[in-house]
């Protein structure tokens, strides 16, 4: 296997490769662009016009998607998977990966769409670098742009694998993209309704890519992801990379679709979230339930029928989202 195919090993060791460009026997070019970032370019004759950004490790302890990208890259480097797409592999927060932590000082996935400019430190710099790398990768005119940002969750979930679809004024969500996610094993999709500061929101809103945050299960240490089944997603990614994807469809029957009703924003240190610490994502909340309180006199009371909570986290910094109330999308 080519040395650059061992991007994960290089990243975890904090080493720079001796050779920063290598070619496979099939003429596929691997180019190291910086710590945790590798660009794969197919031979010109095979290029099908897709630019595919695959990111994982934005949260350093979410190891199942990191291992999935590692497997794909190994297959490319040793010739078992011959790309027809340009692919950018990104391990988002290398130092947090090395420490087995979600992040060091700041949640990198809350620092995009320019939010890093309002902050400082190594993780703000990393978010700025990732924006630059993504913008450079997606600069080619007339090409299809697709970004999957892969995650696992810090808590259990009643729906284990699901996707978040960013929002942009005047832009419609694609049924074909959602149908592909259903084939990839996503059981639900959340349609967002406002601009966001996540990595996928940046590539969607600013760079014009189709982009998704994919939640694949519960976060576990390296080597302990046997319960996280990413086999269907791996198949779809291999098809996208190799150009062997079946004709697109728009069947969403297997997919539960939700929309955001409200975001719960933590404003002060007095914030209290009235939920059990071990509550699972997609837990249903009845109308009238006092969800959270904050100073001065702010209360979040559930009003929506069929409301569910995802990503509840009272430990976020002031000004950030401490949970999302979602409801089924009937359309």
* DSSP symbol at 14: T
> Is the pLDDT at 5 greater than 90, yes or no?
yes
Q: What is residue 108's predicted lDDT score, i.e. its pLDDT? A: 96
Residues belonging to the active site: 215
CA-CA distances (angstroms) from residue 189 to 59, 127, 162, 177, 258?
Answer: 21, 25, 5, 11, 6
> So what's the pLDDT on residue 39?
98
Instruction: Report d(CA 190, CA 201) in Å as an integer.
Output: 13
**Percent of the chain scored above 90 by pLDDT?**
86
Does the pTM of the predicted model rise above 0.75? yes
Is pLDDT above 60 for 36?
yes
Residue 126 has pLDDT above 70, yes or no: yes
Query: What domains lie within the chain, and their CATH numbers?
Result: 3-242 (3.40.630.10), 266-328 (2.40.50)
Which one has a higher pLDDT value, 302 or 219?
302
User: 198 and 149 in contact (C-beta within 8 Å)?
Assistant: yes
User: According to the model, what pLDDT value does residue 226 have?
Assistant: 80
Q: What do you get for the CA distance between the two ends of the chain, in Å?
A: 49
Write out the DSSP string of 189-255: EEE--S---SHHHHHHHTT--EEEEEEEEE---TT--TT---HHHHHHHHHHHHT-PPPP----TT-
Residue pLDDT, tens place only, 46-76 = 999 999 999 999 999 999 999 999 999 999 9
What is the rounded average pLDDT of the residues 303-330?
92
């Amino acid at each position: 296997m080519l040395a650059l195919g061992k991007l994960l090993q290089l990243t975890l060791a904090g080493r720079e490769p001796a050779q920063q460009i290598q070619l496979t026997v099939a003429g596929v070019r691997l180019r190291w662009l910086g710590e945790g970032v590798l660009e794969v370019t197919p031979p010109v004759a095979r290029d099908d016009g897709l630019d595919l950004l695959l990111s994982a490790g934005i949260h350093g302890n979410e190891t199942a998607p990191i291992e999935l990208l590692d497997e794909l890259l190994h297959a490319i480097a040793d010739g078992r998977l011959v790309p027809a797409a340009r692919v950018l592999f990104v391990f988002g927060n290398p130092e947090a990966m090395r420490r087995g932590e979600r992040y060091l000082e700041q949640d990198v996935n809350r620092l995009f769409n320019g939010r890093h400019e309002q902050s400082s430190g190594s993780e703000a710099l990393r978010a700025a670098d990732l924006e630059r790398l993504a913008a450079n990768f997606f600069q080619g005119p007339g090409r299809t742009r697709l970004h999957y940002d892969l995650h696992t969750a810090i808590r259990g979930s009643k729906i284990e694998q699901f996707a978040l679809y960013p929002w942009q004024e005047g832009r419609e969500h694609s049924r074909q993209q959602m149908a592909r996610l259903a084939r990839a094993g996503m059981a639900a999709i959340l349609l967002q309704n406002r601009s966001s500061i996540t990595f996928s929101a940046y590539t969607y809103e600013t760079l014009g890519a189709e982009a998704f945050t994919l939640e694949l299960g519960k976060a576990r240490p390296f080597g302990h992801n046997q319960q996280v089944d990413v086999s269907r997603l791996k198949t779809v990614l291999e098809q996208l990379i190799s150009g062997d994807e079946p004709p697109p469809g728009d069947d969403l029957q297997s997919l539960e679709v939700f929309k955001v009703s409200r975001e719960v924003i933590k404003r002060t240190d007095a914030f209290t979230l009235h939920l059990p610490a071990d509550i699972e994502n997609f837990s249903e909340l009845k109308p009238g339930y006092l969800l959270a309180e904050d100073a001065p006199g702010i209360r979040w009371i559930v009003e929506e029928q069929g409301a569910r909570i995802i990503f509840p986290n009272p430990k976020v910094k002031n000004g950030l989202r401490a949970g999302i109330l979602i409801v089924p999308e009937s359309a």
